[in-house]
């Protein structure tokens, strides 16, 4: 047997993001455009853009800065606050996954799981 876990962050009862959206935002920062990040996740630019706007709306602060060139072609990067938030969230979600698996193993000794 194994334990599975899903984590997400809410603000005022609304989902801000979980692992998937965190990965999208990290990709925006790494690749420099929303379009490239969207491509990597097999989603349209419009869908990715909408996700980012919803994350910002629910988080209550701006996470992505788009540069001149317009939303279709211009570059994008995380704001300093957005980057700090996303890096912390990504690190937290990874740590939690490891911690959850460790606690499961500690609780259920191998012999009791067969």
Which listed residue (2, 70, 110, 111) binds its own copies by CB under 8 A? Answer: 2
Q: How far is the CB of 32 from its own copies (least distance, A)?
A: 25
Stretch binding its own copies (CB under 8 A), from 23-31, 35-43, 44-52, 91-99: 91-99
User: Which pair of tokens denotes residue 68?
Assistant: 């001149």
Q: Look-up: residue for tokens 């876990």? A: 5
* 11 conformational bin, left if phi > 0, alpha if psi -120 to 50, beta if neither: beta
Whether the Cβ atoms of residue 68 and residue 74 lie closer than 8 Å to each other: yes
E strand or H helix at 64, and its extent?
strand 64-66
Which listed residue (24, 33, 38, 85) binds its own copies by CB under 8 A? Answer: 85
Considering the rule CB under 8 A, would residue 68 count as an interface residue with its own copies? Answer: no
Backbone torsions φ then ψ of 47, nearest 5 degrees: -65, -45
Considering the rule CB under 8 A, would residue 7 count as an interface residue with its own copies? Answer: yes
Would you tell me which residues interact with its own copies (CB under 8 A)? 1-11, 15-16, 59-61, 84-85, 88, 91-92, 95-96, 99-100, 103-104, 107-108, 112, 114
């Amino acid at each position: 047997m194994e334990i599975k876990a899903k984590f997400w962050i809410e603000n005022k009862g609304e989902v801000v993001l979980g692992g998937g959206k965190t990965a999208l935002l990290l990709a925006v920062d790494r690749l420099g455009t929303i379009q490239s990040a969207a491509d990597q996740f097999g989603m349209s630019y419009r869908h990715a853009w909408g996700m980012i706007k919803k994350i910002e709306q629910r988080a209550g602060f701006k996470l992505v800065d788009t540069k001149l060139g317009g939303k279709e072609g211009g570059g994008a990067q995380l704001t300093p606050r957005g980057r700090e938030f996303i890096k912390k969230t990504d690190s937290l979600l990874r740590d939690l996954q490891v911690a959850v698996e460790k606690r499961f193993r500690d609780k259920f000794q191998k012999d009791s799981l067969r």
